[in-house]
Amino acid sequence: MKRVKKALFYLLAIALALQFLIPLVWMILSSFKIDDTIYKDLGTIFAVVPHFPDLTLKSYQELLGYYNIFQNLFNSLIYASITVLAGLIINSIAGYSLARFHFPFKNVVMLFIIALMIVPIEAIILPLFLVVHDMGLINTMAGYLLPFFVNVMNIFLFRQNFMSYPGELIEASKVDGLGEFGSFCRIVVPSSVPMYVTVGILTFLASWNDFLWPVMAISNSGLMPIQVALNAIFSDTYNIFTSHMMAALTMVTIPIVLLFVVFQKYIIDGVVRSGIK
């Protein structure tokens, strides 16, 4: 009885694992084939098991000959990096200010932040587009990036984090001649590195994966981030080779896989923490 139970458990667990892995494996393997091989293999085990003589880099070479994928990947990398950097600075000093200082209208500012937290940003994406349009910033990097530097949820998270920081340590550093900003940079930030890494990684992923805002804010192909470029490749030339498409999808996914491998602990921590609070 116990053995049967165990066998059933493994059967279920493995079937579920296959269900998640097959699409991924098929995507990667197909990117190394030519279309004829992809469709010949479809009904066979070679759809998801590598058959090395059939694998080639041809689809990557051809794809990169037609489309400037590296430019789009580079754009996305720059956009995400700037958003992370600016977002961390702006949101963390705002959160720090709310956690540490005593000033008039502090309650009003807090209330304002909490009120904005319940506004679903995607829902107001059209009026946001109009505001950026009126500023003449559509199809510019500034217009694309500026609206997403501030993140009220992150301000709130940083505030919660800094609230628990002992004020005596900051006072002591001020005796040593550091100003408020100096003590923040030299004392508070270094002791909150995990928090910064977690928020930074989640911001990076959100920026890298974003689709709706870039579709609206950027139509110039030289400025396009990778997600929009992918969709353009997919829909513009409907007859694109499956192998080329899979090569493009694989190329977009590789940087994220690396990010997960390196920062796994922080990503899981960020996901879990957001769930438990």
Partner 1 sequence: MGFRNRSYKRAEVITAYCFLFCAIVLALLFIVIPIGRAFTYGFTDYYLLKPDDKAFIGLDNFYRIATDEVFLKSFLNTLQFVVLVVPLQLGMALGLAMIVSKKVIGNAFFRTAYFSPAVLSLVVISILWTVMLNPTSGLINEILTGLGLPAQPFLTSTTQAMPTIVFISAWSGCGYQMMIFLAGLTNIDKSLYEAADIDGAGSFKKFVHITLPGLKPITMFLVITTTIQAFKLIVQPMVMTGGGPDYSTMTMLQYIYEYGYRHRNIGYASAITLVFTIFLIAVSMVIKRLFKEEKA
Question: Treating both helix axes as pointing N-terminal to C-terminal, what angle do 152-163 and 69-100 enclose, rounded to 10 degrees?
Answer: 50
The answer to whether residue 231 forms part of the interface with partner 1 (CB under 8 A) is yes
Q: Which is nearer to partner 1, 56 or 219 (CB)?
A: 219
| Neighbour count for residue 71 (Cβ, 10 Å) | 15
Q: Which is nearer to partner 1, 119 or 175 (CB)?
A: 119
Q: Which is nearer to partner 1, 56 or 273 (CB)?
A: 273
**Cα 243 off chain centre by:** 26
| Alpha carbon distances (Å) from 138 to 125, 142, 144, 222 | 13, 9, 7, 14
Q: Which is nearer to partner 1, 78 or 174 (CB)?
A: 174
Segment interacting with partner 1, rule: CB under 8 A, options 54-62, 63-71, 188-196, 243-251: 243-251
The answer to whether residue 66 forms part of the interface with partner 1 (CB under 8 A) is no
What is the total count of residues that contact partner 1 (CB under 8 A)? Answer: 85
The answer to whether residue 208 forms part of the interface with partner 1 (CB under 8 A) is yes
Residues 158-177 that bind partner 1 (CB under 8 A): none
| Alpha carbon distances (Å) from 222 to 62, 66, 141, 229, 247 | 20, 14, 11, 10, 20
Of 154, 113, 98, 97, residue with least CA distance to 274: 154
* 129 to 158: interface string for partner 1, x by CB under 8 A: xxxxx------------xxxxx-x--x---
**CA dihedral over 61, 62, 63, 66, signed as positive or negative:** positive
Q: Which is nearer to partner 1, 160 or 209 (CB)?
A: 209
Among 4, 123, 175, 193, binds partner 1 (CB under 8 A): 123
Residue count (the chain): 277
Name the minimum Å distance from CB 83 to partner 1.
12
Among 55, 64, 77, 116, binds partner 1 (CB under 8 A): 116
**Cα 256 off chain centre by:** 8
Among 104, 166, 177, 190, binds partner 1 (CB under 8 A): 104
SS3 183: helix
DSSP state of 123: G
Give the contacts of 207 (CB within 8 A, at least 6 positions apart): 76, 79, 80, 83, 84, 148
| Alpha carbon distances (Å) from 180 to 159, 172, 250 | 16, 11, 47
The answer to whether residue 241 forms part of the interface with partner 1 (CB under 8 A) is no
Residues 3-32 that bind partner 1 (CB under 8 A): 9-10, 12-13, 16-17, 19-24, 26-27
Segment interacting with partner 1, rule: CB under 8 A, options 53-61, 64-72, 190-198, 230-238: 230-238
3-state helix, strand, coil in the chain (%, to 5): 80, 0, 20
Among 102, 166, 177, 239, binds partner 1 (CB under 8 A): 102
Segment interacting with partner 1, rule: CB under 8 A, options 36-44, 65-73, 186-194, 195-203: 36-44
Segment interacting with partner 1, rule: CB under 8 A, options 50-58, 67-75, 107-115, 195-203: 107-115
